[in-house]
Structure 1
Amino acid sequence: MKPIDPLPKTPRDNRPLSVRVYERLRDLIIQEKLPPETQLVQGQVADALEVSRTPVRDALNRLTHERLVTWTPGHGHVVNEVRAQDIRYVYQVREPLEALAARQSAGRHSAVQISRLNALVEEMALIDPADCDAQFSLNRRFHMSLFEPCENFVLLQMIESLWDHPLTLRITRSYEHNADAVADAVATHRDIVHAAREGDPDRLAELMTAHWQRLTESLLRGAGS
């Protein structure tokens, strides 16, 4: 296991220690500072973070539930690879949900909302394609801004939870954006904004579906599937 810095002592952070340990390990895995096949021994992790074993055990259990690590009897916890199957599972769910949210948002965008969507697209076009964090943030903001007029709060909560899911972040970080991928996303987003301005629900849902299908195929190629 690569060296891990001790958990910062932040007196104003009143969250349970297990949550802070979980977030540290989750972020290290997403950033691949704890790469796939890394063995996470409970005692070693606790010593490195300078905490007791109990919050580490709780954090590892949560990471196991989220499929970032796997527990094997006799071997302990090991950081997982991102599998082609994981990518399929995530995007099989995201594609129909976002197409539905786009359809339900059509014809309801104000001029201000359209202007905001355009600004996000152009900002994405200017950001370094290799800056995964910035690209992810802008992409997320664009999609959630597109769905603002949707009144189905349950649908919106489900979509937000998928964007925030650690596996989604892990998949995004695993395959760095390149100039061609970003250019394709920007072009698609411009088409989506145009459809939103026209208030065309069928076109908006069609573009959203095609967008996620192309992204899924690109990620699967990167995963060697």
Structure 2
Amino acid sequence: MPATDRSHDVYAALRDQIVRGDMPAGTVLSESEIAAAMSVSRTPVRQAVARLRRDGLLHQPPGRSAVVTAVSAETAVELYQAREALEPYALTLVARSRERDHFTSLAGSFNELASADRIDLDDLHALSREFDAQVRKRCGNGYIARLLEELSVHTARLRMLARGDQDRLHASARQRSAIAHAVARGDGPEAARLEAARLSDSLAVVLRELLGTTVGIHRGEPIA
């Protein structure tokens, strides 16, 4: 397998562990241990670590090993500000296009999840990733698609904060269903409005989990 493929595999594996919380904030990465565990040389591990640093998922003090970054209220707010600037407009672009039929089935799938007594977190996240991927694919703007792709890793990490909140998971599924319906019928302004409201609700949950309250933002305080 080419070195670039090995590096991508290591990157994907480490990224997924960080996003899922298997490597919580403050975890110190040992390149030699990772290389041994994944049966690769240290070169693809170093390449993967460098890529994760660029993503903002790791930081590496001079002369020391890389460490998983903490999630702070400040960075969460900045992420949601970026998403609010991009995602409603991307949905408007998709609603204007002729390639929106897939959103009818997505709306039905989200509605089915919302109707369940209990939502499986993996099912909702998988469907949300499919929704986001379709938006990037069909918005018709490569710059916006790439920016949304860059933000998606951090978005996935924050989604895990609401893993035990069934009320929020059901609300999110209902909101996604309504947004997908609006896109499918070509109502871009309504899809954008609903998405802005969904992002606001989601940020409130994230701040509650990070700070224990939705009132005020203590800048730079990391999650434990």
TM-score range, shorter chain: 0.7 to 0.9
Match of residue 179, structure 2, among 192, 201, 207: 192
Aligned residues of 2:26 and 2:69 also touching (Cα < 8 A): yes
> How far apart, in 2, do the equivalents of 1:43 and 1:148 lie?
38
**Paired residues of 1:188 and 1:207 also in contact (CA < 8 A):** yes
Cα–Cα, structure 1 residues 74 and 128, in superposed 2: closer, same or farther, change >3 Å?
farther
1:176 to 140, 143, 163: 163
Q: 1:41 to 1:150 in 2, by over 3 A?
A: closer
Q: Aligned partners of 1:52, 1:145: CA distance in 2, in Å?
A: 36
Question: Within the alignment, does 1:71 sit opposite 2:60 as a pair?
Answer: yes
Matched, 1:209 2:157: no
Partner amino acid, structure 2, of 1:51? V
> 1:223 aligns to what SS in structure 2?
helix
Q: Show structure 2 runs of 5+ residues with no match.
A: 212-216, 218-224
Q: CA RMSD in A?
A: 3.1
Q: Find the residue that maps to 2:66 and give its secondary structure.
A: strand
1:125 to 114, 117, 125: 114
Extract unaligned runs of 5+ from structure 1. 1-10
Which AA in structure 1 matches 2:35? A
1:223 paired residue number: 210
**How many equivalent residue pairs?**
212
1:127–1:65 distance in 2 versus 1, CA, 3 Å? farther
Query: 2:214 matched to which residue of 1?
Result: none
Rounded to whole Å, the distance in 1 between the matches of 2:164 and 2:89 is 26
* Cα displacement (A) at 1:206: 1.5
Q: Which range moved further: 110-119 or 34-43?
A: 110-119
**Structure 2: distance between partners of 1:217 and 1:203:** 21
Query: Which letter does structure 2 place at the counterpart of 1:223?
Result: L
Mapped to 1, the partners of 2:37 and 2:113 lie a distance apart of 38
1:28 corresponds in structure 2 to 17
CA distance in 2, matches of 1:42, 1:173: 26
Which amino acid in the other structure matches residue 76 of structure 1?
S
Paired position in structure 2 for 1:52:
41
Q: Which moved more, 1:70-79 or 1:207-216?
A: 70-79
Q: Contact conserved, 2:182 with 2:190, CA < 8 A, in 1?
A: yes
1:59-138 aligned within 5 A:
59-106=48-95, 112-113=101-102, 115-125=104-114, 131-138=120-127
Structure 1 residues 48 and 104: alpha-carbon distance in aligned structure 2, compared to 1, 3 A threshold: closer
Identity %: 30
Shift of 1:18: 2.0
CA distance in 1, matches of 2:86, 2:33: 41
Higher relative contact order by CA 8 Å / sep ≥ 6: 1 or 2? 2
CA contact (8 A) 2:107 2:178 kept: no
TM-score by length of 2: 0.76
Distance change in 2, residues 1:54/1:131 (3 Å): same
Report which of the two structures shows the higher radius of gyration computed on alpha carbons.
1
Distance 1:104 1:171, change over 3 A: same
**Letter of the 1:216 counterpart:** L
